[in-house]
Structure 1
């Protein structure tokens, strides 16, 4: 009888863990992933690699302390935004199998193409009190499913304007890397997904395992959710939607600045109309605002990187370093080299 029970347990473990029948039946952290069509590969890879490295000792990648699965309605490979395919590992089933369900978003235009099966599954998970995680534009998917009402929501500054366009009356947080609001967790994507995963590992497995994962991934240490996103912060405070969208467009094109006419075209506004909005909202022209933003980003690079002045000049859209030095000195009263030494 005892042998039969042992054999049954071994089969159950093998069914859940694939080729690892000797692993414990109950890992401390279990995560189910839903990948949107054309999801962001780096956001998924960063998240799952933190789990993988925390789950075992050494470099054997056995899912012992943590486990994870890529969930699917039809088990077809899912294409990432870069074209790489990921094969799901199991069908949608009982969300109670997992401690968290993580939705990895990607291209904005693909969000509405998510199968209704996934939306039903997410609502089932929410009803069962399983915490839901939105990574990158995964927060858009949770919002569209009606699962973010009353919760704070973290969005990348890159997608801030897109969120405002899609969801009237809701202002996302775009100056933090992730937000934990009760049983909803959202993050801006990219490397911030590694920090959110490390937060979960520290909470459920241990701080040592979280630090180990990040160090192996050549990430200095875990960052708290309140850490500012590494984009360029918007220091221009305004509720003018035309100006806000234009400022975000400037952020996205800091190294190769757009002309005012091109920005107006992309925003569907006349150039003179956009200039009036800037004058009324900020008391300056779009060109002046763009210049300030580029020079502030140059200050960030001078303080936080070892790039040369010439490299920084190119990174913030100046055609040569002498032009950059003159503009910087005019704004700060000192050269970039002196500013860096201070």
Structure 2
């Protein structure tokens, strides 16, 4: 049995507690207690959450855990010297130390991220990098594993991180069943972007939104401006103008971004060949997809796949 300690502190973000459900469902899935989960704080007792209610915790002093997970808060506030000292000592005894969302600030304050790759919520990534320049910040990642240290993006990405922990401990099938019971996507890969191209486009009118929805459902088609304009019931000229005004992108650039996002998801979650991914996502050939990936991410599809696979080793 593995003991999981979830560290909270005053004004911790409530959603961070969702990671505990992953371990609860893992126990239920295999029919035995693979994980014992405890809520911890520096002094024990009731700890106030960001919503105002409190949760009961045990003091982490004098305890050892297989895995420690530091919850985040809504501001990225460093914690006390006592928390930092405990985490530094825990690195010698614990197999894994993780942080969800702005919990990365707590690990950075303790020096656990020095020289390591890490991520956090995109909104706070630049602030963490400025405050702790020795951290190798990768702000556009769902989660990152660097040795015994695991960090995730926003609090909901903590579920992805916890599912990855379960997958490493109990296997892919168990993690998949846990995700199914929680009605969540089966663990977005760590290398996946925190951003969604469809959300970033933020169309304001129903006509443009309809065209975007059509495009996302038909990425393997040519998707010319004329075709999208017809779906939006506008002339091609009107459509291009309205689309650019509303989204800040040309139709061609937006379609490329949607295709890149779809292609990356296929690369990270399946074993499709690069040629199949290029065809299914609408790029047509691997060279065109490679150039699009270099524009979007600065690396090729193959490099992104290797990075994703290495995080699961």
**Which residue pairs with 2:15 in the alignment?**
42
Which residue in 2 is equivalent to 1:92?
Answer: 60
Q: Which residue of 2 aligns with 1:285?
A: none
Q: Deviations over 1:51-98 (max 9, x none)?
A: 01111249xxx971211101123223222223332211x2214443x2
Equivalent in the alignment of 2:273: none
Quote the residue 1:102 is aligned against. Answer: 69
- Structure 1: which 5+ runs fail to align? 1-26, 234-250, 258-294, 310-320
Give the aligned partner of residue 272 of structure 2: none
Q: What's 1:32 paired with?
A: 5
- 2:119, 2:125 within 8 Å by CA — same for their partners in 1? no
Q: How far is 1:169 from its partner? A: 5.2
* Structure 2 residue corresponding to 1:174, chosen from 123, 131, 139: 139
> What SS does the corresponding residue of 2:117 show, helix, strand or coil?
coil
Within the alignment, does 1:206 sit opposite 2:185 as a pair? no
Query: Among 250, 261, 273, which residue is 1:331 paired with?
Result: 250
Shift in alpha-carbon separation, 1:299–1:174, aligned structure 2, 3 A:
farther
Tell me which residue corresponds to 1:217. 182
Q: Per the alignment, in what secondary structure is the counterpart of residue 219 of structure 1? A: coil
Shift of 1:170: 3.9
Q: Distance in 2 between matches of 1:178 and 1:200?
A: 11
Query: Aligned-pair distance for 1:172?
Result: 0.8
Equivalent pair of 1:178/1:188 in contact (CA under 8 Å): yes
Shift of 1:204: 1.3
Q: Summarize the Cα distance change of 1:332–1:34 in structure 2 as closer, same or farther, 3 Å threshold.
A: same
Aligned equivalents of 2:217, 2:41: Cα separation in 1: 42
Scaled by the length of structure 2, the TM-score of the pair is 0.63
1:151-202 C-alpha deviation (Å, 9 max, x unpaired): 1111221212221332235441111100111111101133211111111111
Corresponding residue for 2:271?
Answer: none
**Per-residue deviation, 1:206:** 2.9
The separation in 2 between residues aligned to 1:221 and 1:143, in whole angstroms, is 29
What are the ranges of 5 or more consecutive residues in structure 2 without an aligned counterpart?
A: 219-227, 229-238, 260-281, 283-313
- Asked if the contact 1:56/1:65 (under 8 Å) is kept, the reply is no
